[in-house]
Amino acid sequence: MASIRDVARRAGVAPSTVSYVLNGDRSTTEETRQRVREAVEALDYHPRAGARMLRSGRTQVVALALPRGEGVGGPGGGRHAVDGRFAIETADAAHRLGYDLLLATSGDKASGLRRVAVSGLADAAVIMAVDLEDPRIEVVRELDFPAALIGRPADEAALPWIDLDWEQAAVLAVRELAVAGHREVVYLGSAEEEVRARRSAALYGIAGARRGGRETGAAVRVAHTADGPAEAAGLLRVLLAGPAGPPSALVVQHPTAWSHVLAAAGALGHRVPEDLAVVVIGSLPGDSSCARLPRIELPVPAMGSTAVELAVEDADARRPARGRGRAREQAAPGGSAPRQVLLAPELLGGGALRPPPA
């Protein structure tokens, strides 16, 4: 394995000059920088991470705070699928920016993130499974630790964040169903444990479903998604045999539970979409198994990459300036507002919506 001395010999400079070029600590000529870069590439030189961290004060690691446990991820395989897609997208985004990804999965959300922040294992964090009043927000603010959220908190100015506009997504789904003639709609929102935890996406989705009903005059009943096939069949049996008559349409806010809903509907003798219209909110991009359904996809690539960029920008804003005798001042609390990104929903396959059966 090549050393910094090997690079220096090949480039014809001192080892300290190689260090200056790699770390940007002092100005050097473009000719010198080019010779060093060529030597680094030719020798496939990689500075030791520990030494690099000691010199720069940076780990070049972003932590993905993705807690697991009761009321956090849920038992369903679909939830694991979503988590995996986000882990891949954030890892790829971090790599493009020259960072590695550390997966932090403690079910104790606040203390788990605190351990990461005080340990020095990461320069910043991307926080998932965001509650409206998420305790991790106070942790990172107390510790002055760079972070960004994948999820919309109640205090929208607390930290940088990105999220799908779940409320508007639900309004859009109900509105399109109403335009197609559906007056009895069931909104299958997130699982009950996510509502109890005050998960941001769950509560915004329910609020949107109810607003959509008010705006269109459609009767919208809110229920909670069931993860497993047996649970979905039991739930659908109750919903379709309701005293007010069966709904003509379902809106399902879940990345994969819609498949259980479709299977249950078929087992109960209801054809989709002939007898029962189904709109999915939060399906995974590229999921061909629901391509025939009207759906609002969860923009995982945009959410994952933007969250990493926001977290790294926050870390860079606090980074000591290179080539100066003193560190750059950190942004004072209450200074410039953090960035927030709310993604507008798009209904795909809306042309497949049919009017209710006569």
Q: What digits encode the pLDDT tens for the residues 202-254?
A: 999 999 999 999 999 999 999 988 667 777 778 888 887 766 678 899 999 97
Reported as a pLDDT band with limits 50, 70 and 90, residue 1 is low
**Nearest alpha carbon to residue 205 among 105, 93, 281, 296:** 281
Reported as a pLDDT band with limits 50, 70 and 90, residue 133 is very high
Give the pLDDT score at 324.
Answer: 33
- The pair of structure tokens assigned to 300 is 């995982």
Question: Between the CA atoms of 72, 75, 77 and 83, what dihedral angle is there, to the nearest 10 degrees?
Answer: 10
**Residue 217: how many CB atoms within 10 A of its CB?**
9
Question: pTM (2 decimals)?
Answer: 0.78
Rounded Cα gap, residues 26 and 20, in angstroms: 6
Phi and psi of 117, rounded to 5°? -65, -45
Rounded Cα gap, residues 37 and 45, in angstroms: 10
pLDDT digits (tens, 9 = 90+) for 145-171: 999 999 999 999 999 999 999 999 999
- Report the relative pairing of strands 249-253 and 219-224 from DSSP bridges: unpaired
| 18 neighbors 29 (Cβ within 8 angstroms) | no
- The pair of structure tokens assigned to 173 is 């789904």
pLDDT digits (tens, 9 = 90+) for 38-60: 988 888 876 655 445 444 557 78
